[in-house]
């Protein structure tokens, strides 16, 4: 019974935040209230943390919490606080200053409600709200043509995603005769569904998931999303793109067929290649970050495809912190005059590959049965090799630097491991595809890396040029999504800079 109170407490905290966001819109509210509002955003996070510790798994009405829901609630609250805190100064002076805070609050709170709901109808409704919030945030610069264009495009694809979730949820609910997510997805009820029904539902859910994750072939909206102000981009890349991973985790019992996993993997793998490629060929920083997000969301979905939902959730949380920071810091990437230069050495420091292989192998051996461990081991080995290679770039402080990198990496791995352990409890029933699949995935990744290295050495070959130009094209906005000069500012001037 006590567990329920934690849920009601959390909902009350969310309600307070909603009310604060609405009240702040009132012009009578003094500007300094924004500080109060932003600190209130931590309230749901605190309530969720208390719930996580105090209640663990809990249910109340249509709401249902487990470790992942609590974690997501804490994460969303913290992130929303940090980003809005940033926006207090960063967006100051904007015409839509107040509306940004209200909409940001609305968007992220709706997102956290989605993952707290145990009722499919509620999930279906909540799924679309943050997406539409994002559309509204993008459209806030209403005088700027590209922003309007992009907002319209986003509205269209997001509606498609919403529709897919609604259909899947209603179908599942009626077919299973049960709206509670946990019961509807219980083995015995799922057994009542026809194979084709499950297949179509799988397809719908995958479709719903890959759209907000900006996966190929729905990457356009993501590529064109650089029109939003930095804090909105941060929320987008740290929060909303992750929704797909959580959706698949919520419905994971439905994914019992290898083919669905293979299909998901293929889409995600293609997106990783394209996203990475885009971030490599493009030169505007926010576009590089956008490309990287596409690839990282691919990683999250590959982890889902490998049945490693826990790893996917940890990935999306850490990626969120990573990407939010890089976006918020995107003003810092201009090189500075008078800084000491880097040594330009052609030589390489041997042994990176050996170190990488050893470390990767050791990492894999530590827990060979953990899903997606092989993939992580491969990536870790590559990282170690790259870090080792930096020894050639420096002279004096390199060993100290390498030690620092090792310490930092070890710290991060500990955090990741702790997260996984915390989440691991509720996660016994998921379907894990056969080991051969994981090996195939690993080999494909390794081959992709080898191909990339091969192309890197033959940049002027006809093939490399074709790949290059295609990657550029895939990452480019459509003409309507850009404008040579932001004309709306001229109209601001003309309308009169009021002297209030």
Partner 1 sequence: MSKSAMPLERLTGESKPTGAEARPLAMLVSEAAKAVAPLWPISAFIARHPWMGLEEQTFADAADRLQQAHGIDLYPPMAVFHAAMAKGEIDLVFVERRLQRWLDNKPLPVRRQEAERMCRALLWNETVPNEALRLPELAELAHAAAWRPAAVRTAGAALHGVSQRLDQQTVKWCKLFYGSNTAPWALPHCELGFYGAWRRLIAADPALSKEERKRLADWPHDGEEALRQALMKLGVQEEETAAYLEAHLLALPGWAGMVVWQSRRTGDELRGLIDYLAVRLSLEWTLVAPYLPLEREDHADIGAALSLLAAWLHWGGMTLEDWRNLSGKEQRAWLAFIDRFWRIDRCHLWLEAWEDTYEAKLKEAVLAHQPMDETKKAAAQLLFCIDVRSEPFRRHLEAAGPFETYGCAGFFGLPIQTRALDSDDAHPSCPAIVAPQHEINETAALEAARPYRRRRDAFRFVGQTFKKIKQHMLAGLLLPEMSGPWLGLHTFARSAAPAWAGRVVRQAEAAAEHKPKTDLSLHRHGKDESSGLPIGFTTEEQVQYVKQLLVNIGLTSSFAPLVVVCGHESETANNPYASALDCGACGGAAGAFNARVFAALANLPEVRAGLAAEGINIPDETVFVAAEHITTVDEVRWLDVPPLPAAAEAAFRQLKQALGEASRRANAERMAKLPHVGQTPRDPVAEAQRRAVDWSEIRPEWGLARNAAFLIGRRKLTKGKDLNGRVFLHSYDWREDPTGEALAGIIAGPATVGQWINLQYYASTVAPHYYGSGDKTTQTVTGGIGVMQGNGSDLLAGLPWQSVAASDRELFHAPLRLLVIIEAPSYYIEQLLDRNEEFRRKVQNGWLRLASIDPDSGAWVNWEAGRLASVQQR
**Which 198-257 residues touch partner 1, going by CB under 8 A?**
223-224, 226-231
Which residues lie closer than 8 Å to 53 by C-beta, 6 or more apart? none
Site string for partner 1, 337-356 (x = CB under 8 A): xxxxxx--------------
Q: How far is the CB of 414 from partner 1 (least distance, A)?
A: 9
The answer to the question of residue 459 lying near partner 1 (CB under 8 A) is: yes
Q: How far is the CB of 257 from partner 1 (least distance, A)?
A: 26
Based on the shown chain and the rule CB under 8 A, indicate whether residue 89 belongs to the binding site for partner 1: yes
Site for partner 1 contains 285 (CB under 8 A): yes
Which x/- pattern, by CB under 8 A, does the window 261-280 give for partner 1?
A: -----------x---xx-xx
> Could you tell me the smallest distance in angstroms from the CB atom of residue 291 to partner 1?
10
Is residue 394 near partner 1 by the rule CB under 8 A?
Answer: yes
**Whether 135 contacts 119, CB under 8 Å:** no
Told to check if 369 binds partner 1 by CB under 8 A, we report no
Of 187, 191, 334, 428, the one binding partner 1 by CB under 8 A: 334
Residue 21: closest CA among 3, 2, 34, 7: 34
Nearer to partner 1, 63 or 419 (CB): 419
CA distances from 470 to 348, 465, 473 (A): 31, 8, 5
Residue 52 or 81 having the CB closest to partner 1: 81
**CA-closest candidate to residue 464, choices 281, 286, 294, 323:** 281
How many residues interact with partner 1 (rule CB under 8 A)?
146
If one asks whether residue 470 binds partner 1 (CB under 8 A), the answer comes out as: yes
Interface pick for partner 1 out of 26, 28, 336, 369 (rule CB under 8 A): 336
List, in sequence order, every residue forming a beta bridge with 60; answer none if it has no partner.
Answer: 63
Q: Encoding tokens for residue 378?
A: 């491969």
- Residue 281 in contact with partner 1, rule: CB under 8 A: yes
- Is 378 within 8 Å of 359 (Cβ atoms)? no
Q: How far is CA 475 from CA 114, 220, 469, in A?
A: 31, 8, 10
- Indicate the length of the chain as a whole number: 500
Cis peptide before 428 (omega within 30 of 0): no
Site residues (CB under 8 A) for partner 1, limited to 139-198? 141, 144, 146-147, 150
* Token representation of residue 30: 């003094």
Give residues 46-85 in contact with partner 1 (rule: CB under 8 A).
78, 81-82, 85
What whole-number distance in Å separates Cα of residue 134 and Cα of residue 128?
10
Distance, C-alpha 404 to centroid of its chain: 28
Select from 16, 64, 89, 13 the least CA-distant residue to 328. Answer: 89
Instruction: Tell whether residue 357 is a contact of partner 1 (CB under 8 A).
Output: no
In the complex, what is the shortest distance from the CB of residue 96 to partner 1, in angstroms, rounded to a whole number? 9
Q: Is residue 431 involved in binding partner 1 (CB under 8 A)?
A: no
Among 1, 28, 332, 436, binds partner 1 (CB under 8 A): 332
By CB under 8 A, residue 321 contacts partner 1:
yes
Return the number of the residue (191 or 496) whose C-beta is nearest partner 1: 496
Nearer to partner 1, 67 or 91 (CB): 91
Question: d(Cα 215, Cα 268) in Å, to the nearest integer?
Answer: 7
Name the segment binding partner 1 (CB under 8 A); options: 60-68, 123-131, 185-193, 448-456. 448-456
Closest CA to 416 of 382, 384, 376: 376
Beta-bridge partner residues of 58? 65
CA 314 to chain centre: 11
The CB-of-358 to partner 1 minimum distance in angstroms stands at: 16
**330 near partner 1, judged by CB under 8 A:** yes
- Is residue 488 a contact residue for partner 1 (CB under 8 A)? yes
Q: Are 175 and 195 in contact, with CB atoms under 8 Å apart?
A: no
């Amino acid at each position: 019974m006590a567990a329920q109170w934690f849920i009601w407490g959390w909902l009350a905290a969310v309600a307070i935040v909603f009310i604060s966001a609405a009240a702040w819109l009132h012009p009578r509210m003094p500007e300094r209230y924004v500080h109060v509002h932003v600190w209130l955003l931590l309230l749901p996070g605190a309530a969720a943390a208390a719930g996580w510790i105090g209640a663990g798994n809990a249910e109340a009405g249509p709401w249902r919490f487990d470790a992942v829901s609590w974690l997501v609630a804490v994460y969303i609250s913290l992130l929303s606080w940090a980003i809005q805190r940033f926006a207090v100064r960063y967006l100051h002076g904007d015409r839509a200053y107040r509306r940004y805070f209200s909409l940001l609050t609305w968007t992220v709170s709706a997102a956290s409600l989605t993952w707290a709901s145990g009722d499919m109808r509620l999930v279906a409704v909540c799924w679309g709200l943050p997406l539409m919030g994002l559309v509204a945030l993008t459209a806030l610069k209403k005088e700027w043509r590209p922003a309007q264009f992009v907002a319209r495009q986003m509205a269209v694809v997001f509606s498609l995603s919403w529709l897919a979730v609604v259909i899947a949820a209603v179908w599942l609910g009626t077919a299973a005769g049960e709206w509670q997510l946990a019961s509807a997805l219980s083995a015995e009820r799922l057994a009542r569904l026809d194979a084709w029904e499950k297949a179509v539902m799988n397809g719908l859910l995958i479709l719903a998931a890959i759209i907000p994750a900006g996966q190929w072939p729905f990457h356009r909206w993501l590529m064109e999303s650089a029109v939003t102000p930095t804090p909105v981009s941060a929320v987008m890349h740290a929060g909303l793109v992750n929704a797909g991973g959580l959706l698949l985790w919520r419905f994971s019992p439905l994914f019992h067929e290898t083919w669905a996993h293979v299909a998901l993997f293929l889409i995600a793998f293609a997106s990783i290649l394209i996203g990475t490629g885009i971030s490599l060929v493009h030169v505007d920083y926010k576009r590089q970050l956008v490309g990287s997000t596409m690839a990282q969301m691919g990683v999250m979905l590959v982890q889902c495809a490998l049945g490693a939902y826990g790893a996917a959730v940890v990935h999306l949380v850490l990626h969120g912190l990573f990407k939010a920071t890089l976006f918020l810091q995107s003003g810092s990437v201009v090189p500075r005059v008078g800084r000491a230069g880097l040594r330009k050495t052609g030589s390489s420091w041997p042994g990176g590959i050996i170190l990488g292989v050893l470390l990767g192998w050791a990492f894999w051996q530590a827990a060979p049965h953990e899903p997606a461990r092989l993939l992580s081991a491969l990536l870790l080995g590559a990282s170690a090799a790259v870090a080792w290679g930096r020894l050639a770039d420096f002279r004096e402080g390199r060993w100290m630097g390498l030690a620092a990198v090792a310490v930092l990496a070890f710290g991060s791995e500990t955090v990741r491991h702790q997260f996984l352990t915390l989440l691991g409890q509720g996660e016994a029933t998921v379907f894990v595809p056969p080991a051969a699949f994981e090996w195939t995935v690993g080999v494909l990744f390794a081959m992709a890396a080898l191909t990339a290295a091969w192309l890197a050495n033959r940049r002027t070959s006809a093939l490399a040029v074709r790949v290059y130009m295609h990657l550029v094209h895939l990452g480019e906005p459509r003409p309507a999504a850009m404008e040579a000069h932001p004309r709306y500012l001229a109209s601001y001037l003309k309308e009169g800079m009021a002297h209030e």
